Amino acid sequence: MRPADRSAVHSVAHSAARIGLAAAALTTALAGTVPAAAADAGAPPDPAPGGPQRPYEPDVPGPENLDSLDVTATRGEGRSVTVAFDRRSRTADGSVQAGARRFVFLFDRSIRFNPQAFPTCTAELIREKGVRACPPGSQIGSGRGTLTTGERQEVLVFNAMVGRLRGALVVIPAGGVLLEQTFERASAPYRRDHRWTLDEIVPPTAVPPEERQGTARFELSFGATRMVNGRPVGFVETAARPGTKTKFGLWSEFVTGQVVLPRDTARLR
């Protein structure tokens, strides 16, 4: 084939590829779905890449999740503070939300944690005897999950060691769900506003990824206080003054490969 002919063939092929990509993008937009293996384009980077790794699963086609976040930060005794995350989720096409793979909670740089000052519970104990068997003082948070059916489920959070890492256990007793979170330093792109993260992995199950359903709303608060050597110590603490603007985020990855990062700024109450 002559060079001119090769150039013509290359030009035609390149044009066809661009037309094909444009058509695929248009189809996806009209359908309101996220195509497998294409959802991570331009996605916000992982805030905690050095933590425990989730077993690999290929992306699956599914709806595009549209998430929002509202956070409150309320001072308690001493320097203790309760941080409450309120995540709401819907889909672009009105269908059931795609299931989650990971959530990474990003806390303001002024926030610090004192897990060493609180008793710990273990996943093994909860699975064997239930949450009531956890040591007094080990519960360091609570919340509520709302399913797409409107059903609400209580959520409890316990201080824990996850392997050799400090972290927490998120338990939904009614659903038989137990999820592990680990404390991780925020990665470089986030360090201007955040110091610590809690990295939560939603492990694969026997249910096919495309059939795993997300929640319409998930509320989760972190905060507890106990007396240590005669003074109040918070599981979550801050030296910031009331009225200070504090920044939070919730990096979320779904079975479709879609990644979102809703953020919120809360004035410390």
* DSSP line for 221-245: EE--EEEETTEEEESEEE-PPTT-E
Whole-number pLDDT of residue 204: 94
Give the separation between CA 69 and CA 83, rounded to whole angstroms.
13
CA distances from 251 to 100, 106, 256, 257 (A): 11, 8, 15, 13
Between 175 and 20, the higher pLDDT residue? 175
Whole-number pLDDT of residue 41: 59
CB distance 101 to 202 below 8 Å: yes
How many other C-beta atoms can be found within 10 angstroms of the C-beta atom of residue 242? 10
Give 22's pLDDT tier (boundaries 50, 70, 90).
very low
CA distances from 86 to 71, 94, 219, 234 (A): 6, 20, 4, 21
Per the DSSP assignment, residues forming a β-bridge with 211 are none
* Residue 47 DSSP label: S
Whole-number pLDDT of residue 23: 38
Give the separation between CA 90 and CA 63, rounded to whole angstroms.
9
Percentage of the chain with pLDDT > 70? 85
CA distances from 91 to 37, 96, 98, 109, 201 (A): 19, 7, 8, 31, 22
The DSSP result for 148-173, as a single string, is TTS-EEEEEEEEEEETTEEEEEEEEG
- pLDDT for residue 1 is more than 70: no
160-217: per-residue pLDDT in tens? 999 999 999 999 999 999 999 999 999 999 999 999 999 999 999 999 999 998 899 9
Whole-number pLDDT of residue 259: 98
Distant-in-sequence, close-in-space partners of 83: CB < 8 Å, separation ≥ 6: 71, 72, 73, 107, 111, 221, 222, 223, 236, 248
Q: Among 16-20, 120-124, 243-247, where is mean pLDDT lowest?
A: 16-20
Give the pair of three-digit tokens for residue 249: 């985020």
Domain-wise residue ranges, the chain = 32-267
87-132: per-residue pLDDT in tens? 999 998 999 999 999 999 999 999 999 999 999 999 999 999 999 9
Q: What is the mean pLDDT of residues 32-40?
A: 50
How much is the mean pLDDT over the chain? 88
Give the separation between CA 235 and CA 83, rounded to whole angstroms.
11
How many other C-beta atoms can be found within 10 angstroms of the C-beta atom of residue 253? 22
Whole-number pLDDT of residue 30: 37
211-243: per-residue pLDDT in tens? 998 899 999 999 999 999 999 999 999 999 999
Whole-number pLDDT of residue 92: 87
CB distance 238 to 130 below 8 Å: no
Give the pair of three-digit tokens for residue 170: 């998120």
The DSSP result for 245-267, as a single string, is EEEEEEEEEETTS-EE--EEEEE
Of 170, 62, 160, 178, whose CA–CA distance to 120 is shortest? 160
- pLDDT for residue 74 is more than 80: yes
Whole-number pLDDT of residue 42: 85
